[in-house]
């Protein structure tokens, strides 16, 4: 467990913070988008390398570890399809995502789009990883077979 926890807390979050300090917010944002599925994979009922679990795991990661607003079905679906799928496979953002500098507008739904503050999203991701780590430390979750 310490290897996984250390890798998330020390390596991944440290790298995200270094990217932010050096002005690479988009790179930090991309790491966070791709890392959400991992959060879900660590706590779902399937083996760690189970196929066909991307959507379920991504949504579990959002609902269990991110602030409650991320769990709203319309938001969860747009974030999965508009960020994780488009970015993960095409390095493009969906037209259903509108980026904003205003943290107060983060996750607001307007027309058919959701406003996302990259800075707030990154902050929420880092807090989500810390929340997951704490739940492992507290014994709420057990490390799956096949993980480091």
3-state SS assignment for residue 121: helix
Distance in angstroms (rounded) separating the CA atoms of residues 65 and 40 = 9
d(CA 107, CA 68): 11
Per-residue pLDDT of 106-146, as tens digits, reads 999 988 899 999 999 999 999 999 898 888 888 888 877 76
pTM equals 0.88
**Confidence at residue 98, expressed as pLDDT on a 0 to 100 scale:** 92
CA torsion through residues 133, 105, 103, 12, sign = positive
pLDDT above 60 for 62? yes
Q: Tell how many helices (H) and how many strands (E) occur in the chain.
A: 7, 3
What is the 8-class DSSP label of residue 141? S
Structure-block tokens of residue 46: 């399937």
The pLDDT tens digits of the residues spanning 84-95 come to: 877 777 778 888
């Amino acid at each position: 467990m310490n290897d996984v926890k250390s890798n998330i807390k020390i390596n991944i979050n440290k790298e995200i913070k270094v990217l932010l300090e050096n002005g690479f917010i988009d790179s930090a944002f991309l790491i966070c988008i791709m890392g959400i599925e991992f959060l879900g994979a660590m706590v779902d009922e399937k083996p760690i390398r189970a196929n066909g679990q991307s959507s379920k795991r991504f949504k579990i990661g959002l609902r269990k570890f991110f602030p409650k607003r991320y769990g709203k079905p319309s938001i969860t679906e747009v974030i999965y399809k508009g960020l994780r799928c488009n970015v993960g496979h095409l390095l493009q953002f969906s037209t259903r995502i509108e980026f904003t500098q205003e943290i107060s507008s983060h996750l607001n739904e307007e027309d058919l789009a959701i406003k996302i503050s990259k800075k707030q999203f990154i902050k929420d991701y880092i807090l989500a990883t810390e929340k997951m780590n704490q739940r492992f430390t507290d014994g709420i979750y057990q490390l799956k077979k096949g993980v480091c």
